[in-house]
Amino acid sequence: MSLYRMMFTRLTRWMTCLLVLIAPFLTQAAPRTQIELLLDHEEAKPGTTLIAAVSLRMPPKWHTYWANSGDSGGATKIKWQLPPGISAGPIQWPVPRKYVDADLVTYILENEALLLVPITIAANTSAGEVTLQAEVRWLECAEQCLPGQGEITTKLKIGPTDRASPASSDIQKAQAALPKPDPAIEVTGWWDGPGDTNDLRRFVLKFGPAADSNTIDFYGDAMADGRITGATTDAGDRTLIKTFEKSGDKWPASVSGLAVLGTAPNQRAVMVSAKLEDRAPGSTTTTSSSSTGPPAQTRGLLAILFAAFLGGLILNIMPCVLPVIALKILSFVKQSKQAPGRVKQLGVIYALGVWASFLVLAGLVIGIKQAGGAASWGMQFQNPVFLVALTSLVVLVSLNLFGLFEINLGGGAMDAAGQLTSREGPAGAFFNGVLATVLATPCTAPFLGLALGFAFASSAPVIILVFSTVALGLALPYVILSWNPAWLKILPKPGEWMEHFKQLMAFPMLATGAWIFSLAVPHFGKSGALYLGLFVVSLALAAYIFGQFGQRNLKSPMVGKFLALAVIVVAYVILLERGLGWRHPAAVQANASGIENKLGGIQWQSWSNDAVTAARKSGRPVLVDFTADWCLTCQVNKKTSIEIPSVVARIKELNILPLLGDYTLQNPAITAELARFGRAGVPLVIVFPADPSKDPIVLPEVLTPNIVLEALAKAKG
């Protein structure tokens, strides 16, 4: 949900409450909803509990709201005026209908709804006729919402016998239709991370095998210290993710509501409740106060930070970052002849570039979370604007390495781009750190997925701390080398070979540009490759003109610079703005129909939670691969450990259903699934055993054939 949608939702609820409060003071038209007070007894003995029914009859297309109205609306209120000795209990609500309008989810009552209320007559109540009276306030909505208010009364005779009323049959039917507990349906719950700055906190409900339905939903009861929002994320395997919005000082220890199984007309609602633990069931973390050492949360955070640090270290050798690694080696060779203080300074500035970039990423994640959205590692590679800009930047870096243009100080656009690609001086050191971070984000190293999954579900300070720790791991090797000049002596002496090495390193950088180009093209349809390719060629032409005539031809350098700038401007307007429409690309969906041929030997099908559930019910294991074209770790796993003959044969032998979750483009369902398994990004490979009662097997980020084969064998057993 966007920030504006969240603000609109809250404003709607506030305005609803305001309308209900000021309703008695407004002059309004007659309400559409007709109200009546019914009793199941005409005469009742002292000491009896009878049932009163407040009937709400709504015209077609109009509705009122359930006890928890959801993301907007407001529940009906009943204020009783009863004689001495007679008291009213809480409302017994019928099962509502879930109503979805845009991003708002509400729970509504339509046609005629009976709100049942137990009425208790004290044993010492005197015989005679009494009047039962109540004031009812409600909100009725169709295309517009209006507050309603009315008085209802009825007579009751208190005497020596119990005598049913004409409305008794209807009230008994309404009682029979009320949701009831089912001891066979078990549900466990836990908080999915801490609350955020908007007092929102997600929780998870896991239903037992008795909740045997393809569709499960949870309608949370009304609560005094906040509300359970309407939206439900079905995480599959009888697991739901909900959100609680706090209005009090504490998070609730438990939740209750309706488990709604199946779909109309065979829908069944069951009353359920669950305690909310601070950790997922089965976790080995303990919160015992008698345990020695630091608290469990502290120990858990320290373990996460250690994993983040290791993940950052390993990122240095991942294929995403290798082009920058080679360039850093070249810079160390150059620095080996400089003063030690200068080398140390550049090492620290490089680390600051890495850290600043990770802080920007952390801020982006925090902003998305506060706006109610879902953030994931590598999400910027789903943004076409980012991909076009990065393609252009990496190509410029490559051309600079080839020597097509040189680095010098100046005020032009090409000068600024050239300065960024400089490999010497503080600015170059800082930008090297930025570029290393940008290229590292599509990779998920071992240990990094666990740490980022924890961070993405945590508060803002924890996100910043974890991201800073990853930055430390990524930058530390260079800082150590720069602060130990003696270690640089093992490097070869500077010479002519350095220029050749620099040009050689342009090829892996250019290959990186080609890879990013391939990620950008699918966002722009069939013409994307042509327009973006022509723009890259124009960019190369501008770089050539700038270097050849703006730098090397000293007689009229301004002419060369002007021509280079003109080429870029014309290419930008014609190719990017008009041809590609790069800032506003048309919505492009991930290609699900071509999945079977996309990866060759394994006959993949498109992933969905329903497909996983259906396969396991039929006794079939499931292999799920959440992947993305921009995730190099995913591609390495595919080539070395998934799309190999032994795994293909085992999948066919064990009749395992292979499902592919393509995360190349934005997919909220996959984002929620990644969060459910504690991951912030792909790769995520899961093997679901055939037995639905057994927990899924989550594989590590970096795979080997044996890891995959062992997991497949366990899934069938």
Q: pLDDT at position 61, please?
A: 86
Per DSSP (E only), the strands in 321-367 are none
Among 542, 234, 594, CA closest to 395: 542
180-189, 477-486, 587-596, range with greatest mean pLDDT: 180-189
Does residue 197 register a pLDDT over 80?
A: no
- Separation of CA 663 from chain center: 12
Q: Is the pTM of this model over 0.75?
A: no
Does residue 294 register a pLDDT over 80?
A: no
Q: pLDDT at position 513, please?
A: 79
Q: What is the mean pLDDT of the chain?
A: 77
From CA 240, how far away is CA 232, in angstroms rounded? 7
Residues 6+ apart with CB under 8 A from 144: none
Does residue 708 register a pLDDT over 90?
A: yes
Residues 6+ apart with CB under 8 A from 9: 1, 71, 72, 103, 104
- At 210-228, the pLDDT tens digits run 887 778 899 999 888 888 8
> How many CB atoms lie under 10 A from the CB of residue 419?
16
Where do the CATH 2.60.40.1250 domains begin and end in the chain? 3-178
CATH class of 187-277: mainly beta
Among 23, 25, 5, CA closest to 15: 23
CB of 670 closer than 8 Å to CB of 626: yes
From CA 571, how far away is CA 228, in angstroms rounded? 52
Where do the CATH 3.40.30.10 domains begin and end in the chain? 595-716
Contacts 24+ apart (CB under 8 A), 585-589: 585/384, 585/523, 585/524, 586/524, 586/525, 588/522, 588/523, 588/524, 588/525, 588/665, 589/665
Q: pLDDT at position 73, please?
A: 82
From CA 140, how far away is CA 113, in angstroms rounded? 13
Provide mean pLDDT across the span 157-172: 91
From CA 348, how far away is CA 611, in angstroms rounded? 51
Written as one letter, the residue type at 178 is L
Higher model confidence: residue 132 or residue 367? 132
Provide mean pLDDT across the span 555-563: 79
DSSP-assigned letter for residue 388: H
> How many CB atoms lie under 10 A from the CB of residue 405?
26
Higher model confidence: residue 401 or residue 544? 544
Does residue 422 register a pLDDT over 70?
A: no
CATH topology of domain 3-178: Immunoglobulin-like (2.60.40)
DSSP bridge partners of 270 = 180, 259
Q: pLDDT at position 326, please?
A: 56
- At 329-353, the pLDDT tens digits run 556 556 555 666 777 777 788 888 8
Does residue 196 register a pLDDT over 70?
A: no
Q: pLDDT at position 4, please?
A: 40
Measured CA distances, 688 to 236, 685, 709 (Å): 11, 10, 13
From CA 168, how far away is CA 176, in angstroms rounded? 12
Provide mean pLDDT across the span 542-547: 86
Q: Is the dihedral of CA 458, 459, 462, 467 positive or negative?
A: positive
DSSP-assigned letter for residue 476: H
- Separation of CA 629 from chain center: 19
From CA 494, how far away is CA 351, in angstroms rounded? 24
Among 623, 196, 513, CA closest to 375: 196
| Strand pairing report for 268-277 and 254-261 | antiparallel
271-285, 298-312, 671-685, range with greatest mean pLDDT: 671-685
- The single residue listed with the structure tokens 């910043």 is 464
CA angle 90/121/78 to nearest 5° reads 30
Q: Which two tokens stand for residue 581?
A: 């429409």
Q: Which two tokens stand for residue 677?
A: 């398994």
CB of 26 closer than 8 Å to CB of 142: no
- At 80-122, the pLDDT tens digits run 999 999 999 999 999 999 888 766 788 999 999 999 999 999 9
**CA atoms within 13 Å, Cβ hemisphere of 99:** 23
Express as a percent the part of the chain with pLDDT over 70.
Answer: 75
Q: What angle do the packed helices 384-402 and 413-420 form, to 10 degrees?
A: 80
Express as a percent the part of the chain with pLDDT over 90.
Answer: 20
20-34, 60-74, 445-459, range with greatest mean pLDDT: 60-74
Question: What confidence tier does 198 reach under pLDDT thresholds 50, 70, 90?
Answer: low
Q: pLDDT at position 642, please?
A: 93
Among 498, 440, 496, 353, CA closest to 630: 440
Q: pLDDT at position 193, please?
A: 73
Q: pLDDT at position 329, please?
A: 58
CATH topology of domain 595-716: Glutaredoxin (3.40.30)
| Strand pairing report for 605-606 and 657-662 | parallel
Does residue 423 register a pLDDT over 50?
A: no
Q: pLDDT at position 297, please?
A: 43
Q: pLDDT at position 692, please?
A: 83
- At 642-682, the pLDDT tens digits run 999 889 989 988 999 999 998 887 777 887 788 778 777 78
